[in-house]
């Protein structure tokens, strides 16, 4: 099967004078019944790999296989979650913690004290025109929570997800199976965060290479990508 870029995304990007291809890999719809994300990566990406490639995989795909994706009806937001979610700045890249359900997951992940401190610091920062302080305090666990959005592929338009657990361990195991470097990424159209990586991965370089989110975030069904350095 030929690998093609997703609609509206470029196959190639130039970073620091070198050109890289970013091949999205279409897979089956990954569900909580799929318990082995390494096996899925091997089945769908393994046959396309060349020496020197880097595999990058959506953190949501990993989290789903770890049982960390929940239907919105199964989440019971607290008063604090409902209150704080009203004051989250909305963006075009997703709902973030702007829903009571995602804020509730954030509270569960980082605790009430950290959430309140992050919210207070974030409020002070906004008054001075500084954004993003909430996530600097709350950290990756809060930043990697995905909300239910209408443009997501069903049924995940009605699901919210926590970030994956032990992402570095998952990346190392996947790298051992695939024979290439692996990065687990939290990417959207506003930016990229590398949550986990196998040995030798240059996280800053990977983030630059996929800064335009070549996997997409709607119904592409391409949770895995392959980075390949082009040699002229």
155 cis-preceded (ω within 30 degrees of 0): yes
Could you give the residue range(s) of every CATH 3.30.1330.100 domain in the chain?
Answer: 12-68+166-229
Q: How many residues does the chain have?
A: 232
pLDDT at 93: 59
Q: Topology of domain 12-68+166-229, per CATH?
A: 60s Ribosomal Protein L30; Chain: A; (3.30.1330)
pLDDT at 124: 93
Q: Give the distance, in angstroms, between the CA of residue 34 and the centroid of all CA atoms in the same chain.
A: 18
> Does 46 or 149 have the greater pLDDT score?
46
What whole-number percentage of the chain has pLDDT above 90? 78
Closest CA to 171 of 88, 59, 50: 59
pLDDT at 90: 67
Q: Is the pLDDT of residue 195 over 70?
A: yes
Q: Give the distance, in angstroms, between the CA of residue 129 and the centroid of all CA atoms in the same chain.
A: 27
The tokens for 128 are 């001075």
Q: Do 195 and 33 meet the contact criterion of CB atoms below 8 Å apart?
A: no
Residues 6+ positions from 2 with CB-CB distance below 8 Å = none
Render pLDDT for 45-99 as a digit per residue (tens, 0 to 9). 999 999 999 999 999 999 999 999 999 999 999 999 999 999 887 666 567 899 9
The average pLDDT across 130-155 equals: 89
Query: What does pLDDT average to over the chain?
Result: 93
Closest CA to 206 of 170, 180, 232: 180
Considering only 2-6, 114-118, 205-209, 225-229, which range has the smallest mean pLDDT? 2-6
Q: Do 230 and 62 meet the contact criterion of CB atoms below 8 Å apart?
A: no
pLDDT at 22: 97
Show the beta-strand stretches assigned E in 17-112.
18-25, 54-58, 69-71
Render pLDDT for 175-193 as a digit per residue (tens, 0 to 9). 999 999 999 999 876 689 9
| pTM, two decimal places | 0.91
pLDDT at 87: 86
The average pLDDT across 18-44 equals: 96
Q: Do 42 and 226 meet the contact criterion of CB atoms below 8 Å apart?
A: no
Confidence of residue 37 (pLDDT cuts 50, 70, 90): very high
Confidence of residue 114 (pLDDT cuts 50, 70, 90): very high
Q: Is the pLDDT of residue 1 over 60?
A: no
């Amino acid at each position: 099967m030929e690998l093609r870029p997703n609609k509206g995304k470029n196959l190639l990007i130039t970073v620091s004078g070198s050109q890289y291809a970013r091949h999205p890999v279409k897979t089956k719809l990954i569900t909580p019944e799929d318990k082995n994300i390494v096996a899925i990566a091997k089945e769908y990406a393994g046959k396309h790999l060349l020496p020197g490639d880097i595999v990058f995989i959506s953190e949501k795909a990993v989290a789903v296989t770890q049982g960390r994706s929940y239907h919105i009806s199964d989440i019971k937001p607290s008063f604090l979650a409902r209150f704080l979610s009203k004051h989250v700045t909305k963006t075009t890249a997703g709902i973030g913690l702007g829903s009571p359900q995602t804020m509730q997951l954030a509270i569960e992940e980082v605790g009430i004290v950290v959430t309140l401190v992050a919210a207070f610091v974030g409020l002070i920062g906004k008054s001075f025109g500084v954004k993003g302080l909430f996530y600097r305090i709350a950290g990756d666990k809060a930043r990697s929570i995905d909300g239910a959005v209408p443009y997501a592929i069903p049924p995940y338009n009605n699901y919210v997800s926590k970030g994956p657990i032990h992402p570095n361990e998952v990346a190392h195991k996947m790298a051992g199976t695939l024979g290439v470097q692996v990065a687990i990424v939290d990417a959207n159209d506003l930016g990229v965060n590398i949550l986990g990586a196998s040995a030798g991965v240059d996280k800053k370089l990977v983030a630059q290479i996929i800064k335009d989110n070549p996997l997409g975030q709607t119904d592409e069904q391409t949770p895995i990508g392959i980075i390949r350095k082009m040699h002229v």
